[in-house]
Each structure stands twice: as C-alpha cells, then as structure tokens.
Amino acid sequence: MSHTEQPVHVTRRLQKEESASYDRSTLDYIHRASATGLYEIRGLGAKRKLPHFDDLVFLTASLSRYPLEGYREKCSTRTVLGTRFAKKPIVLDTPITIAGMSFGALSANVKEALGKAATAMGTTTTTGDGGMTPEERMSSKTLVYQCLPSRYGFDPDDVRRADAIEVVLGQGAKPGGGGMLLGQKVNPRVAKMRTLPEGVDQRSASRHPDWTGPDDLAIKIQELREITDWEKPVYVKVGATRVFNDVKLAVHSGADVVVVDGMQGGTAATQTCFIEHAGIPTLAAVRQAVAALEDLDMKGTVQLIVSGGIRTGADVAKALALGADAVAIGQGVLMALGCNRDTYQQDGQIHSAEAGYAALGTAPGYCHHCHTGKCPVGVTTQDAVLEQRLEPEWGARHVRNYLKTLTMELTTLARACGKQDVHHLEPEDMVALTVEAAAMARVPLAGTNWIPGQN
Amino acid sequence: MCGIVGLLLKKPALHDRLGELMVPMLIGMTERGPDSAGMAVFGACLPEQQRKISVYSGLTDDGAAYDWVGLADAVNAALKVHATPVIKGNHAVLTFEGPAEPVKAFVKTFDAKLHLLSAGRSIELYKDIGTPAEVAARYDFAHLGGSHLVGHTRMATESAVTPDRAHPFTAGEDFCLVHNGSLSNPNGVRRMLEPRGIRFETDNDTEAACRFLEWRLREGDTLHDALQKGFEALDGFYTFLMGTATELALIRDPFACKPAVVAETDDYVAIASEFRSLAHLPDVKHARVFEPAPEEMYVWKI
Amino acid sequence: MEDLSFDLAVQTVRALNQFLHGPADTLAGRHVRVSNPDGAHNIAVGINAPVKVTIEGHAGYYAAGMNKFAEVVIEGSASTGVAENMMSGKVHVKGFASNSAGASAHGGLLVIDGDAGLRCGISLKGGDIVVGGSVGSFSGFMAQAGRMLVCGDAGDALGDSLYEAVIYVRGTIKSLGADAQIEPLTEADIASIAELLAAGGLQHEPASFRRVASARTLYHWNADADQEY
C-alpha cells in the first residue's frame, strides 16, 4: 500500500489528540484573555479536583468497637462555642452553622430564609461583607456579625445586637483578596448600606483599615470586647494558607473561636486565578489548625470551626473527627436554596429556570455566574424580578431540610462508631484512600499503618 | 509580631539607672510579645585590646547550672586571654584580652549547644523564652547600667518560639537589631547572602534583615547607606530599631503599619511601640512626644 | 451637675467603659474626667449616649472608637484608630493623632489640632475630619463619603481610590493617589470649608484650600483604560 492509501481510521485517530496542559479549559482561558484583556471573575469555589473528605472513610463498628442503636440510643449534637472569655457563649443544637455571606451577594429573601432555617435548626447564621440587614436579625435567633476589611455598613448598634462578632482576615476562596461586588449588584438598597454610589463597582480592601498583624489584632479584639462589655464571643476567620501559624497567632491575639476556610470555600465574585490557585485544601487545613490548638494546649478552650466544601453529613462527621468543633456551610446552603437547580418555585408553581442559565451561557449543574447578579433561581441577585424566584418560606424549609439531613447523617456515622456524642469522633476512627489524603489528614492509608510524614 | 523598646540616656549621671528605667518599658510590651524577650545593653567601652561576648547555655543539657567557670578555664588554657565570666544562670558575659573571633570559635567547638549572643567592646545581650517580666527578673535587668539599650518582646510568627529566635539579632561587633513586623522575602535575601559567606543561624525573618545589614556594613557602607539599600532589598512591613556602640537608629517602612512612638527630653530619648511603655518615664509629661515618619532614618548619638 | 472622675491608675478601662455604657438618660449632660490614661487602649469605646468625656493625657489605640452621640476630648495625643467607625458625636484630639485616625467613620466630627499619621480618614463613610496640622501618606484611601480638611500638608497617594468623599488641603500635597484629582473650588466648597474651619476652631482663608476629589475613572472596570484594579 502507498502512503496516500493508508486506512482512514488510522489517520482520523491521530488528528484529535488532546493536550493535558493545553486542554480545552486552558485553550478557552487563553482565547478569552486575548479577546478581553480582563481576568475572569466568577463565583463559587475551587472547581478542580482536590484531596478532600471523600478520600477518607470511617472505621465503623467491628468486633472490637460496638455501635449505638440508631433510634433508641442518644447521640448528642449539642455544641458550645466561645467558652474562653465571653460571658454569653453560643450554644448550638447542631455543629453545623451557616457561613458568612453578604447581603449584596445574596438577596434579602435569601438572608431571611437562612435566618429562619438556622433558627429552626438551633444554629447560627452569619452576616457578610455589607453589614447586617433587619431581615436577618429578626429571622435569626442567633446571629454572628462579621467585621471585615471593607467595614461596609459596620455599625456599633449592630455590634450590640449581634450574638457574636467574627473578625475576618480572609476567606478560603481568596486569602489576601478583599470583597468584590460588581456594579450590577449595587442596587439602591445595597448602595445605601455600603455607602457606595449606585451601580458602581465596589473595590476590594484586603487589609483592615485600623490594624495589621496579630499584635494589633489583640488590641482590636479587646476593643470589640470592651464595646460589648465582654459578653459576646469574638471569632477570628482566616482563609487557609499558613494555618498552623495563623491559628496560633489568632489564639495569642485573644480569639474565642477560630474559623478556618479552605480553598474549596466559595465566593460570589472573585478572580478565578485566586479561587483555583490560592489557599490550601480544607482537608490539610483542619489538621494543621487542630495541631496548633493542641500545641498551645487550647483544644477545648478555643473552638475551631472549619469551612470550605462541607457538603454532606459525612463531610461534617469527618471534619469533627479530625478535631473541628463545628463546621460552616456556604455553597451547600445556596444549593439547597436552588443554586444550579433547573427549576424554581414561585407563587405555588414550579417554573423552569433553563432559559436563565442559557442566557448566561451556561446550564444547570455548571453555573458559577453569581457575580453577574442574574441568578436564574433568585439566590445571588439584587434584581427585583429575579429575587422573587426565591420565596423565604420555601427557602427556609429547604435549607432546614438540608441541615437536618446532614445532622442525621452525622449522628448515623457517629453512632456506628460507637459515640454517644458527635464530638467524641476522633482521627483514629478513619483511614485514607489516597497517599495525599493520608498525609494531609494525618490518618493511615487504608490497610496499612502508614501516615506519610509521620512514620 | 512584637513590641520594641529603646532608651538612650543623654547624661552619664543617669547611666546607673538604665535598667531601672527600662524594666517597666519592657513589661509594658508584654501583650504585644508574651513569648520571649531580649535586651542589648551598651555600657562603658572596653579598652581597644579587650572584648566581651555574651553566651547563652539554655540549649545545653545543664541549662542554668552550666559550668561557666569551667568554660572560662578552658578558654584560658587554650588561648591565654585572661577570660573572666560574669554569670547569671543560663547566661554569662565573658571578658578577655584580644580579638573576639578566636574565642567565639573556641566556644563553639568546646560546646556546640552554647549559643553566642553578641560580641564587641560595649554590647551585652540577653534573650530567653518567657514573659518580659520573667526574663527581666531572670537576668536582673533592673540593675543593669549603661548608656543605651535596645529591647524586644516577641509574639512568634513564622518561626518557632525558641530562645535563639528571640530578638535582638546581632552582626559583627557592637551591632544589634530588633524588628516589629513581618518581612515577605526573607528566604530570597538569605539565599542571596549565603553564597557571600554570611552564615545564618535561624529561619527567622528578622535575621535576614540583620544579616543584610551585616553584609552591607562589611562591604564598607555607612549604616545610613546600608539602610537605604535595605529599603530596596527588604520587602514587607517593618519598624527596625538598631543599636551600635555609640548610637540608636530607627526606621519605618513606607507603609508604616507597625507602630512606633518617641519621647525625648534633655535627659533621654525613649522609643517604644506604644506610648504605654513610656508613660512611667521621668518628666514624660513634658517630653517631646512624636511619631517617626516612614522611610526616614532617625539617629541618636550618646 | 458636678464632674465625675475616673483615675486609670487605680481603676480599669473596663470599669470606665462599662460605666460609659450605662443608661443614656443618666449619662446625658454629664462630664466624665479620665486621669492617668498613660496610653491605655480602648478608652471610651462604644459610647451610645450624649455624655462628655475628657481624657487628661495620651490615649492608646481606638480611643472613642465607634462613638455615638458623645463628645470626647483627648488632651494629649491619640494612638492608632482614634474615633474609628464613629457614627455621630465629636472627638477632639488636642495633640497629634497616629495612623488611621477616623478610619471608616460614618458620621460625626473628628478634630485633630496637631498632625495626623498615615491613612487618616481611610475608608471614610461619612462625617467630617478636620486636621489643624498635616496628614501622612495614604490619607483618604478608599474614602467613600464625608469631608476631610487638612490645614497643613498631605503625604503620598492622597485620596487613592476615592469614591465620593472630598478632601480640602491647604498646604502641599506630596502626591495624589490613583483616580484623585484637584478640582476648582465652587461656592459650595467655600461654604463647606468655612463650616469645617469653624468646627475645628481654626482661622484660615477658605480660598487658600484646594479641592481633591475622585475622577471617577475606576467606577466601572475597563481593560482598555489600562486600569490597575
């Protein structure tokens, strides 16, 4: 056969070879960057595959470890946060809390729904970068108030109205970056709360205006305590980077509770390069945070809340087993409200949201366009029409159901490990499925005694 | 993250009171720095043919019970330098005839766990883990005399809380540095200096600044020019306070996030991270109190 | 009614603040003198009543922080963050102020007789800051609303990333920040300046000030403009 007469199937296969480095996603990135000269801004958290809680499994009941009965035998989920200095610590019925997300990023209806759900579940919700809305204060039995670098809407009356204060250094999606809200979401109400001109892009402050470093943070925390006459717990939240050092310094600065947010943590808007390439996986962050507390003999005195990609009851159980006292969920509750769902419910009717996704150039299951303010299901929007697609009662019920499911799964796994209290879960209750997860979580690779880096 | 203090007494009649005035300054910085504390005191200058070194035994097995007399005897047997120790538990100042380098080298080979703190004709340096009050009591700071001092309390950031990572850091003779802040490129600076024969003892970011200045001074720069080059080479946030045999020097980076305040009278110049540490000083109500501007070099001579 | 005294040499800042957080009707119109402040932090923070407080000496960080309704006089200097996040009322520093004076204040009046350090009025969200002396670099950084009046000089990067706040400067400006520009004074500015000078007890010719405001080119992010965003 001559060269020009080779079988067709041979030449066809050789013409479509994909590159692992310059894959379709990278090609799309380069094409877009060259067309616009802009970095991409999007919502949600890191989308690429990372070592995560899925890489750990529980060693439940065996001949040497006996389970609790699922229905008759109690498994406590009561959680207390802020025992170190505050006169009035936070007492929760479940260790699952709702993470800080701003009014501005989210609609007022969403904040109300989250508050109602948290109240029903006996847990906390948290304000975000934009201040406290009356809706969320009224609907949340227990509300954590964030103090952020931007100080948008920060008000001492709200400090006095809050149940705890959370001083935010950063979040897992963008440690070292500040909040971002594009002009299309700065509607009159948001503009007024944040003292911004309407429709104008909000710029990010990445440092606090009046303190830098743990030595100054110590004085700032004291200021917040003095203003609240030492009643309310002060949390310190960091995006997960140098977690061991940061947790130690947060404790030295006087934090009652430390919140560590891993790179899977979400945002409503930031540069993609930040989301995917800054911060460490939550799995690695948890153990470093716990190690820091143990190093200072503060485990149990200063509580640890972990967030960033907590999705399921199993995730909650694993975070607790690794040593967290509680978790915070952001993206998960938004998905419970309908994020990436193909329908929404309005006025008792189910409607298709497909057209809304298509208009954004995406589809349910793939959307991360929170930054546009055109959320097809009315969650991350300030648009007067779109925000009606999320009704507070419906939303509250869905979030409550989600958190209830997670809590039930948590106790199921805890009971199977023989625990009467979910806080008795420990690292030895688990093994890892991959070498990376074993190293990060500091538990043995399944079937072996090996913990990379430890033995 | 830390607290810094500095004090320079303008009148020799006050030199006996240096320690007494300094202890409350140091303790006032406890909240900024609860983990460890250090102090470099500059006193009467030894004659040209003598030197003294400060040595720390806290990392040895014997710790505060270290046999300093035995060390001095061994130095004299080997080098015949008439070394005499002044001992305070895990710390000793060894005064001797002749240059410092041979004695330093001997001490290191005699016991690798001994830590050399300082060398010179005027400087004595103390540092240890513990609260400022504990460290001050351990070394009887209240009774130290001298013309000027540089002190520091530490809240450890990126490197561990061990005594050798406490400040002040020294370089060469009669030079020390304390730092409040956090440098963002210490590793690059270290990698630039090591091939030039500059030895590092710790991974502390402050040591990178100190060794950079040591290099520039070794190359013949004045302190002023060395600090000017430092603005380019050192990245991050810093207030630096330095001491030499005859002066105190202070600079702040352009962002000036880390605080510093100065109180000056006819009798003294006092520097601290917060006014709280200066509040007890004599006649401070009539002192000129001001904040040093960023990127400017302030130098006070004895 | 006679003045009340707190001596911080024998009483705690916590006790003082707790007292100052008492019922507004018992505090209204009272004058509280605080002696021996000696640079203590968080003096008179979070007041929520029309009480007058005089701090007889130097204050530490966050003096009169988050002030509402009160009038606080600091006879010495104030450290970082004096009157930070003030909502209303008046704070008067007779000496100099350190960094971040009036940071993120939403309202009220902050008067500093001497100089202010770096980042004076950073993140300002309303209210007025009047400085008899000069201000350090990065003053008015990201200031969103409100007014600043500087009788002396300003350092580098004045008004970087300004939104709608306006800064009046009488002396030299070492450099303007991104998007800050000098604009001609209008009649309304002259009146504002006169009002601010009177509020600060200062005597200068209003027309001798310059107006610094936002060029508003950063309001909408635009790649073609080569913005540093």
pLDDT digits (tens, 9 = 90+) for B100-143: 999 999 999 999 999 999 999 999 999 999 999 999 999 999 99
B139 and B219 belong to one structural domain:
yes
DSSP 8-state code for residue A203: P
B148 and B10 belong to one structural domain:
yes
Comparing CB atoms, the residue among B274, B290, B293 nearest residue C79 is: B274
- Is C191 a domain residue? yes
Task: Say if residues B247 and B300 touch (Cβ distance below 8 Å).
Answer: yes
pLDDT in tens, C188-225: 999 999 999 999 999 999 999 999 999 998 888 654 54
Q: What long-range pairs does C170-175 form, CB within 8 A, spacing at least 24?
A: C170/C204, C170/C208, C170/C209, C170/C210, C171/C134, C173/C210, C173/C212, C174/C137
Residue B184 structural domain? 2-45+130-301
pLDDT in tens, C75-102: 999 999 999 999 999 999 999 999 999 9
Backbone angles phi, psi at B132, to 5 degrees: -55, -40
Is ipTM beyond 0.85?
yes
B228 and B203 belong to one structural domain:
yes
User: What residues of chain A have any CB closer than 8 angstroms to a CB in chain C?
Assistant: 36-38, 150-151, 154-157, 159-160, 182-183, 194-197, 200-201, 203, 205, 209-211, 216, 219-220, 222-223, 226-230
Element (H, E) at B73: helix B68-79
Confidence at residue A393, expressed as pLDDT on a 0 to 100 scale: 96
Across chain C, mean pLDDT equals 95
Q: What is the DSSP string of A14-43?
A: HT----STT-HHHHHHHHHHHHH-S--EE-
Mutate to test the interface with A, among C13, C125, C179, C216 (most CBs of A within 10 A): C125
pLDDT in tens, B86-108: 999 999 999 999 999 999 999 99
Element (H, E) at C93: strand C90-93
List the CATH code of the domain at A53-441.
3.20.20.70
Chain B hits for C58, Cβ within 8 Å: 275, 279, 289
In total, the C-beta contacts within 8 angstroms joining chain B to chain C are 50
Test C219 with A220 for CB contact under 8 angstroms: no
Test B254 with C137 for CB contact under 8 angstroms: yes
Name the β-bridge partners of A100: A126
* B256 and chain A in contact, CB less than 8 A: no
Q: B121 CA to chain A: closest CA distance, Å? A: 34
B113 and B139 belong to one structural domain:
no
Test A219 with C123 for CB contact under 8 angstroms: no
Chain C hits for A182, Cβ within 8 Å: 221
Binning pLDDT at 50, 70 and 90, where does residue A177 land?
confident
Confidence at residue C229, expressed as pLDDT on a 0 to 100 scale: 40
Backbone angles phi, psi at A249, to 5 degrees: -65, -35
pLDDT in tens, B179-197: 998 899 999 999 999 999 9
- What contacts B80, CB < 8 A, 6 or more positions away? none
Work out how many domains chain B is built from and give that number. Answer: 2
Confidence at residue A69, expressed as pLDDT on a 0 to 100 scale: 86
B260 and B186 belong to one structural domain:
yes
B96 and B204 belong to one structural domain:
no
What pTM was estimated for this model as a whole? 0.92
Burial A6-45 (b: 16+ CB within 10 A, else e): eeeeeeeeeeeeeeeeeeeeeeebeeeeeeeeeebbbbbb
- Hey, what are A333's tokens? 């509750």
- Catalytic residues of B, by residue number, are 2
B77 and B34 belong to one structural domain:
no
CA nearest to C46 within chain A: A227
Backbone angles phi, psi at B296, to 5 degrees: -110, 150
B241 and B166 belong to one structural domain:
yes
B110 and B54 belong to one structural domain:
yes
pLDDT in tens, A258-306: 999 999 999 999 999 999 999 999 999 999 999 999 999 999 999 999 9
**Cα–Cα distance between B156 and B165 in angstroms, integer?**
9
Task: Report whether the peptide linkage leading into residue B168 is cis, meaning its omega lies within 30 degrees of zero.
Answer: yes
B153 and B246 belong to one structural domain:
yes
CATH of the domain at B96: 3.30.70.3400
User: Among A191, A287, A190, which Cα is nearest to A247's?
Assistant: A287
Residue C189 structural domain? 115-229
B161 and B271 belong to one structural domain:
yes
Q: β-strands C90-93, C109-112: how paired?
A: parallel
**Cα–Cα distance between A147 and A235 in angstroms, integer?**
10
B91, B121, B151 - which closes a domain: B121
Domain chopping of chain A, boundaries: 8-41, 53-441
B101, B121, B141 - which closes a domain: B121
Test A213 with B237 for CB contact under 8 angstroms: yes
Test B291 with C117 for CB contact under 8 angstroms: yes
Comparing CB atoms, the residue among A207, A212, A214 nearest residue B155 is: A214
**Cα–Cα distance between B68 and B62 in angstroms, integer?**
11
User: Among C126, C17, C136, which Cα is nearest to C72's?
Assistant: C17
Work out how many domains chain C is built from and give that number. Answer: 1
B291 and B156 belong to one structural domain:
yes
**Cα–Cα distance between C133 and C156 in angstroms, integer?**
16
